[in-house]
Amino acid sequence: MMIRFSSEAGRNVTLQDRYAMPFIHLMGHSGRVPGALGAADVGAALQALKQGLSDGRMPGDEAAEDADDDERPVPASTRAYPLIQLLEAAERAETGVLWDYYDGAYI
């Protein structure tokens, strides 16, 4: 399944749930989907996510066993970059961030 993060401050970010859920947990949330950050909570969630990534607290850090022998696993910090950009934009715009399951259909 896919999870889409959205905010009035920037473009939507869509990630596979196996990658998005650990990011949601690092931001200090239970992992419930749908979920949201209020504008006042975005800064703390952003800092918690950055701190968790720098501390290497990602469970399985993109599961090296998922990669073929010829492929290198993608670091969590690389996968999180678009989400971090969205959170930074939301913090600057003083607006919230929402997330929900996304099936790929266009509305």
Domain boundaries in the chain?
2-63+74-102
Rounded to the nearest integer, the mean pLDDT of the chain is 89
Structure tokens at 14: 């869509």
Q: Are 37 and 96 in contact (CB under 8 A)?
A: yes
Question: What is the pLDDT averaged over residues 69-84?
Answer: 88
Q: Are 84 and 49 in contact (CB under 8 A)?
A: yes
| pLDDT the model gives residue 73 | 85
Q: Rounded CA gap, 58 and 75, in Å?
A: 10
Task: Give the closest residue to 32 by CA, choosing from 58, 3, 9.
Answer: 3
Q: Are 83 and 49 in contact (CB under 8 A)?
A: yes
When comparing pLDDT for 90 and 70, which is higher? 90
The answer, yes or no, to whether residue 107 has pLDDT greater than 60, is no
